Amino acid sequence: MSVASAVADRRYRKMKISKLAQREARQLFRSCQVNGLLDENRVRQATALLLAKRPHRYVEILSRLHRLVKLELERRAARVESATPLPADLQADVADRIRKIYGPGADITFSRNPALIGGLRVQVGSDLYDGSVRSRLEKLEQSF
């Protein structure tokens, strides 16, 4: 066996093991979901079980599982900014609308950002809805 083929074989085995670890992590991630929502207790149990068994490449499986959980939490995180504090009934209405679009697992936080001048700025995962006065003024300024 030549040196080049030995290096290529080692790279192939590493790639194959990575794909196997990724598949295992996805299966673990799916088993941690209940009705399409991530269950924190199941994630803890799956992690503890994986650490107890310590299968081959368990560290890589754990890191990939961690990444999947992190992406899911970021995807479900909603941040609502307003220039002034929103009344409770308006907060409930906004939260209901977000849950209607993104599902019941949305984690919604409300914060105050006086720089917006007025309106709302809603970010859910990578989606951004900017209905603030500041963004409208910036768009108007760019049009001149």
Rounded mean pLDDT of 109-137? 94
Examine the domain organization and report whether 32 and 93 are in the same domain. Answer: no
| For the ranges 15-29, 50-64, 110-124, the one whose mean pLDDT is highest | 110-124
Question: Is 8's pLDDT higher than 70?
Answer: no
**Domain region containing 80:** 76-143
The total domain count for the chain is 2
Examine the domain organization and report whether 82 and 120 are in the same domain. Answer: yes
Examine the domain organization and report whether 31 and 57 are in the same domain. Answer: yes
Examine the domain organization and report whether 70 and 86 are in the same domain. Answer: no
Question: Is 105's pLDDT higher than 90?
Answer: no
Examine the domain organization and report whether 56 and 83 are in the same domain. Answer: no
User: What phi, psi does 139 have (nearest 5°)?
Assistant: -65, -40
Q: Which residues pair with 37 in a beta bridge?
A: 34
Examine the domain organization and report whether 47 and 85 are in the same domain. Answer: no
The reported pTM is 0.71
Examine the domain organization and report whether 26 and 83 are in the same domain. Answer: no
Examine the domain organization and report whether 23 and 68 are in the same domain. Answer: yes
Give the CATH number of the domain where residue 133 resides. Answer: 3.30.910
| For the ranges 32-41, 88-97, 101-110, the one whose mean pLDDT is highest | 88-97
8 A C-beta contact, residue 80 and residue 94: yes
First-to-last C-alpha distance (Å) of the chain: 69
Q: Which SS3 state, helix, strand or coil, does residue 2 take?
A: coil
Rounded Cα distance between 14 and 28, Å, is: 21
8 A C-beta contact, residue 95 and residue 108: yes
pLDDT of residue 5: 63
Q: Give tens-digit pLDDT for 34-77.
A: 998 999 999 999 999 999 999 888 999 999 999 999 999 999 99
Examine the domain organization and report whether 70 and 115 are in the same domain. Answer: no
Mark which of 57, 74, 91 sits at the end of a domain: 74
Examine the domain organization and report whether 96 and 120 are in the same domain. Answer: yes
